[in-house]
Chain A
Amino acid sequence: MATVSLTIDNVKVEVEQGSTILEAAKQIGVNIPTLCYMKDINAIGACRICVVEVQGARALQAACVSPVAEGMVVKTNSAAVRASRKMTLELIQSNHPQECNTCQRNTNCELQALSEAMALGDIRFVRPAQSHSKDDIDNSSPSIVRDPRKCILCRRCVAVCEKVQGVKCISTMNRGFETVVAPPFNQSLNDVNCAMCGQCSLVCPTGAIVEVDDTGKVWRALDDANKHVVVQTAPAVRVAIAEEFGMEPGTLAQASWWQPSPPRL
Chain B
Amino acid sequence: MDTDFTADLTIMEEGTEFIKRVTSGGVLPMITSCSPGWIKYIEMYYPDLLAHLSTCKSPQQMFGALAKTFYAEKKGIDPANIYSVSIMPCTAKKFEAQRDELTDSGYQDVDVVLTTRELGRMLREIGVDWDSLPEENYDDPMGLSTGAAVIFGATGGVMEAAVRTVYEILTKQPLPDINLTPVRGMEGIKEATLKVGDLDVKVAVAHTLGNARKLLDKIRAGEADYHFIEIMCCPGGCIGGGGQPIPTNLDVRLKRIAGTYKADEELPLRKSHENPAITAIYEQFLGEPLGEKSHKLLHTFYVPRGVYSKPEGLPDKVPSDDHH
Contact = CB atoms under 8 A, between A and B. Distances in A.
Contacts of B247: 202
A228 B82 contact: yes
A230 interface: yes
A256 B242 contact: no
Interface string B144-177: 1100011111100100000000000000000000
Nearest to B260: A239
A249 B252 contact: yes
A249 B242 CA distance: 15
B115 A250 contact: no
B118 interface: yes
A102 interface: no
Interface in A206-241: 211-215, 217-219, 221, 224, 226-241
A193 B41 CA distance: 8
A57 interface: no
Interface stretch (A43-51, A125-133, A164-172): A164-172
Interface residues of B, number: 111
Contacts of A233: 2-3, 86-87
B307 A263 contact: no
Interface in B208-260: 208-210, 213, 233-235, 237-248, 250-252, 255-260
Contacts of B238: 234-236
Contacts, number: 285
Contacts of A195: 37-38, 40-41, 44, 92, 209, 233
A234 B235 contact: no
Interface in B1-54: 1-4, 6-7, 36-38, 40-41, 44-45
A161 B67 CA distance: 35
Contacts of A108: 246
A167 to B, nearest CB: 6
Contacts of A167: 41, 209
B90 A265 contact: no
B267 interface: yes
B130 A242 contact: yes
Contact of B242 (A105, A202, A228, A241): A202
Contacts of A252: 259, 262-263
B81 A234 contact: no
B117 interface: yes
Given A198-B242, A232-B1, A257-B138, A249 B122 contact: no
B112 interface: yes
Interface stretch (B276-284, B290-298, B316-324): B276-284
| Chain B facing A: main interface SS | helix
| Chain A facing B: main interface SS | loop
A134 interface: no
B306 to A, nearest CB: 9
Nearest to A199: B242
Given A199-B242, A227-B81, A143 B92 contact: yes
Most buried by B among A141, A166, A197, A261: A197
Given A235-B153, A237-B119, A239-B239, A221 B85 contact: yes
Which 8 residue pairs of A and B lie closest in terms of their CB atoms, listed nearest first?
A198-B242, A244-B120, A198-B91, A250-B259, A236-B153, A250-B255, A236-B238, A235-B153
Interface of A: 39, 105, 108, 141-144, 163-167, 193, 195-202, 211-215, 217-219, 221, 224, 226-245, 247-252, 254-265
26 contacts: A143-B95, A163-B210, A165-B208, A196-B242, A198-B243, A199-B235, A202-B242, A202-B244, A211-B117, A215-B122, A221-B83, A227-B82, A230-B84, A234-B60, A235-B150, A235-B151, A235-B238, A236-B89, A236-B153, A236-B154, A236-B244, A239-B259, A240-B256, A250-B255, A250-B257, A257-B263
Interface of B: 1-4, 6-7, 36-38, 40-41, 44-45, 59-60, 63-64, 67, 71, 75, 77, 81-95, 98, 111-125, 128, 130, 135-138, 140-145, 149-154, 157, 208-210, 213, 233-235, 237-248, 250-252, 255-260, 262-263, 266-269, 276-277, 280, 284, 307-308
Given A165-B210, A245-B130, 13 more contacts: A164-B210, A167-B41, A193-B45, A197-B234, A198-B115, A214-B118, A232-B3, A238-B263, A244-B117, A255-B135, A256-B135, A260-B144, A260-B267
